[in-house]
A and B are shown apart, each in its own frame.
Chain A
Amino acid sequence: MERMPKWADVILTPLISLALAFVLSALVILAIGESPAEALKVMVEGALGSSYGWGFTLYYTTNFIFTGLAVMVAYHAGLFNIGGEGQAAVGGLGVALVLLALPWPHWALALPAAMLGAALFGAAWALIPAWLQARRGSHVVITTIMFNFIAAALLNYVLVNLLRPVGSMDPASANFAPATHLPKLSGMAKALGLNWGENTPVNIAFFIALAACLLVWLLIWRTRLGYEIRAFGKSEPAALYAGISALRITVVAMLVSGGLAGLMAVNNVMGEAERLVLNAVEGAGFIGIAVALMGRNHPFGVLLAALLFGFLYQGGGELALWTTIPRELIVVIQALVILFTGALDNMVRMPLERLFMALRRKGA
């Protein structure tokens, strides 16, 4: 017998937590002398009020889906991958190398190759922490954090010394050839005669992200590997009993995780910047942690949470653009959302459970 209905656990609790986070955010906005209502209006209009806002919101959502899925897959194997940031950065390097190495005639050819490059590079960056965890017991939380720093150093070196065109100020690679530019959603809409999201970066990678949600769902809940990943994540001794190799699951789960994080580069590097710039990931790897946790480590939840953070990111950007509220407000709101939905969710769940118990007793 459950303490409360499933819908209350899965939907009501996070919604109330979210509401609490927003109430507190409003207090913070008041405290810095701004109007929460005004701020909310700017955010909602800027992020959701027009196809233009949606174009950006969905672009960020795409990033967060990839990093959120990455954290989620590792989490199911009982591994806390904080290295999405570094893996996505190195994934970007993979994309850049693939796209700059060959004269791709068409994006449709370049895209699979770039995806492969992104996933392979991202996975490779997760491999060492995974192996060290399985073989040497070095805690993956620490090693992935370290690998974020090392990735930053590596990218800096590669961009400044190897990929940067001579004479360019910018620590960035050369532009990718126009033939490799991914179709934007706005362009697709235009082909259908619609005027949607003109000049927004959301591109075909959004659909790849949606497909990734579906595939990850299949992987985790419909394949043997997923079954083993979940079993291993829930109980290591039981997995051993069943003949599930700890080394294999740790490594495979982290490879998939790193690969997903790496795939983010298809969106931001190939789809948006169309070249590799320094610090292209911009914290999406860390936001992925919050996205996965808020999404209850389910791909559908990840999708919704990514949308929420996409909204926060774009809305927050608009806030910083058009009001005097500093952009750090968004960091605070994100923190509160993570805190309330992730760490303090029992604060909401415990009273709710009591409420439902009381209701049931009365009903009985």
Chain B
Amino acid sequence: DPALIFDLGGKFDKSFNEAAYNGAERWKAETGGSYKELEMQSEAMREQALRRLAQSGANPIVMTGFAFGEVLNKVAPDYPDTKFVIIDMVVEQPNVQSIVFTEEQGSYLAGVLAAQASKSGTVGFIGGMDIPLIHKFECGYAQGFKAAKPDGKLIINYTGTTPAAWNDPVKGGELVRAQISQGADVIYAAAGGTGIGVLQAAADAGILSIGVDSNQNHLHPGKVLTSMVKGVDNSVYEAFKAGAEIQPGVKVMDLASGGVSVAMDESNKPLISDEMTAAVEAATKAIVGGEIKVHDYMTDNTCPVE
């Protein structure tokens, strides 16, 4: 049986852990198979979980989150017959498949859409905990926005510095109001549970918001401009389907492969004009074709646009 390990955020984090869970559930529903799932409770438990699963014969073992990188590097060689899949991190071992997403590209498209949808020319970004991964989202978004609206204004806020920052919808909502008061009329939230508060406050205030990781358009139909979707669910689904035969190596899930995208569905249909669709398509083509290179914040800890 395959196995899935969630990171500390837990499987209902409204974010990528939950997406992974949905992928696994889809596989279960389609194939009728069963899988093991584990939630972390402490740092020291990561290794324990990996080893116990490997010993129990689970294959492949899928885990979400960069935090597993170190441990996997150590554990994978001990179980050469087991295949491991790690999401959001590269681990170079012969029995590991690493899946990374180009969040900057998806966020770039979100930025393009935000620029189109914004009437004031000012848009916002609200991050959860102030860590590099979230800056990657922020930087891609900023690049897309500036490309479409070079003199537009971008307001950036982070909720906090402790893990509590992922679960503070009150502060998320307040940040929305602060950004609105500075003119923002589209706000992109990459903040886990805090994001729920962001989307809510934006909907309450009658401005647009952008969801993240999973498709969150349906949370407030007609009020969420789009969601920057990471295909974590697909990746997990694919990995489970491939089973023990899964190919080791690095798998970059980018725009071209559909790994990241901006969600278009019934909920946001009224919000998306034809020009927007055109702009997104043009940008997608340019990125896929290599004309536009979206800078990845993680490579050098800097962002080319402010």
Q: Do chains A and B touch in the complex (CB under 8 A)?
A: yes
Confirm or deny: A77 has a beta carbon within 8 angstroms of a beta carbon on chain B.
no
User: A171, B43: Cβ atoms under 8 Å?
Assistant: no
Nearest CB on B from A285, distance (A): 13
Q: Given that A170-B67, A171-B131, A277-B67 are known contacts, is A282 also in contact with B47, CB under 8 Å in the complex? A: no
Q: B5 — nearest CB in chain A belongs to which residue? A: A321
Interface assignment of A160: CB less than 8 Å from any CB of chain B: yes
- How far apart are A157's CB and chain B's nearest CB, in angstroms? 8
Shortest distance from the beta carbon of A100 to any chain B beta carbon, whole Å: 16
B residues in contact with A166, CB < 8 Å: 300-301
Question: Which residues does chain A contribute within 8 Å of B48, judged by CB atoms?
Answer: 56, 199-200, 317
Instruction: Assess the A317–B41 pair: CB atoms within 8 A.
Output: yes
The residue that B38 contacts in the complex, of A157, A275, A316, A321, with Cβ under 8 A, is: A321
Q: Which residues of A contact B301 (CB under 8 A)?
A: 166
- Closest Cβ neighbor of A166 among chain B residues: B301
Query: A210-224 interface mask toward B, CB cutoff 8 Å, 1 = contact, 0 = none?
Result: 000000000000000
Quote the shortest CB–CB distance from B92 to chain A (angstroms).
14
* A169 near B43: Cβ-Cβ < 8 Å: no
Among A4-12, A148-156, A299-307, A339-347, the one that faces the other chain is A148-156
- Is there contact, CB below 8 Å, between A169 and B161? no
Contact between chains at B70 and A275 (CB < 8 Å): yes
- Is B257 located at the chain interface by the 8 A CB criterion? no
A303-321 interface (Cβ within 8 A of B):
313, 316-317, 320-321
Flag if A156 contacts B44 (CB, 8 Å). no
For the complex, what is the distance from the CA of A277 to the CA of B299, rounded to whole Å? Answer: 20
Q: In the complex, what distance in Å separates the CA atom of A321 from the CA atom of B70?
A: 20
Given contacts A149-B162, A156-B130, A317 and B45 within 8 Å (CB-CB): yes
A156, B130: Cα distance in complex, Å: 8
Known: A160-B130, A272-B44. A320 touches B39 (CB 8 A): yes
Knowing A321-B38, A321-B52, the reply to whether A279 touches B44 (Cβ < 8 A) is: no
Q: Are A279 and B163 in contact (CB under 8 A)?
A: yes
Given contacts A156-B131, A160-B130, A164-B132, contact A282 B43 (CB under 8 A): yes
- Bound: A287/B25 CA distance, A: 36
**Across the interface, do B44 and A201 meet the contact criterion of CB distance under 8 Å?**
yes
Interface footprint category on B: 20 to 34
A125 vs B104: C-alpha distance when bound (angstroms): 38
- A33: Cβ under 8 A from any B Cβ: no
Interface residue ranges of A60-109 to B (CB < 8 Å): 60
Are A171 and B42 within 8 A (Cβ)?
Answer: no
A132 at the interface (CB under 8 A from B): no
| CB-defined contacts of A272 to chain B, threshold 8 Å | 43-44
Chain B contacts for A156, CB-based, 8 A? 129-131, 161-162
Q: Is the pair A169, B44 in contact by a Cβ cutoff of 8 Å?
A: no
A277 to B301, CA, bound (A): 18
The answer for the CA separation of A27 and B43 in the assembled complex, in Å, is 29
Judge whether A280 is part of the interface by a CB distance below 8 angstroms: yes
> Least Cβ distance of A171 to chain B in Å?
5
CA distance A31 to B215 in the complex (A): 34
Given the complex of chains A and B, what is the CA–CA distance between A321 and B41 in angstroms?
Answer: 9
- A279 & B89 in contact (Cβ 8 Å cutoff): no
Measured between beta carbons, the chain A residues less than 8 angstroms from B47 are 199, 201
In the assembled complex, the Cα of A170 lies from the Cα of B301 at a distance in Å of 12
A-B pair number, CB within 8 angstroms: 85
Q: Please tell me if A278 contacts chain B, counting CB pairs below 8 Å.
A: yes
B44 x A316 contact (CB < 8 A): no
How far is the CB of A147 from the nearest CB of chain B, in Å? 13
Cα–Cα distance between A60 and B43 once the two chains are bound (Å): 11
Which of A152, A273, A316, A320 is close to B43, meaning CB atoms less than 8 Å apart? A273
Contact A327 B41 (CB under 8 A): yes
Are B162's CB and A169's CB within 8 A?
no
Pair A59/B44 contact, Cβ less than 8 Å: yes
Closest to B135 in A: A160
Given that A160-B132, A166-B300, A277-B67 are contacting pairs, would A152 and B89 also be in contact in the complex, using a CB cutoff of 8 Å? no
Q: In this assembly, does B69 line the interface, its C-beta being within 8 Å of a C-beta of chain A?
A: yes
Q: Is A268 an interface residue (CB 8 A)?
A: yes
Supposing A170-B67, A171-B132, A317-B42 touch, asked if A279 and B52 sit within 8 A by C-beta, the answer is: no
Highest count of chain B CB atoms <10 Å: which of A164, A170, A275 = A170
Contact indicator A169/B88 (Cβ below 8 Å): yes
Instruction: Say how far B159's CB is from chain A's closest CB, in angstroms.
Output: 12
Given A166-B300, A279-B162, check contact A268 B44 (CB 8 Å): yes
Q: How far is the CA of A118 from the CA of B48 in the complex (A)?
A: 26
- Judged by a CB distance under 8 angstroms, whether A175 is at the interface is yes
15 example contacts (A-B, Cβ-Cβ < 8 A) are as follows A56-B44, A156-B129, A156-B131, A156-B161, A157-B161, A160-B130, A160-B132, A169-B69, A170-B69, A273-B70, A277-B43, A277-B67, A282-B43, A320-B38, A327-B41
> Across chains A and B, which 10 residue pairs bring their CB atoms closest together, nearest first?
A156-B161, A169-B66, A152-B162, A153-B161, A327-B41, A171-B131, A317-B41, A201-B44, A321-B38, A170-B66
Residues of chain B having any CB pair with chain A under 8 Å: 38-39, 41-45, 47-49, 51-52, 66-67, 69-70, 88-89, 129-133, 161-163, 298-301
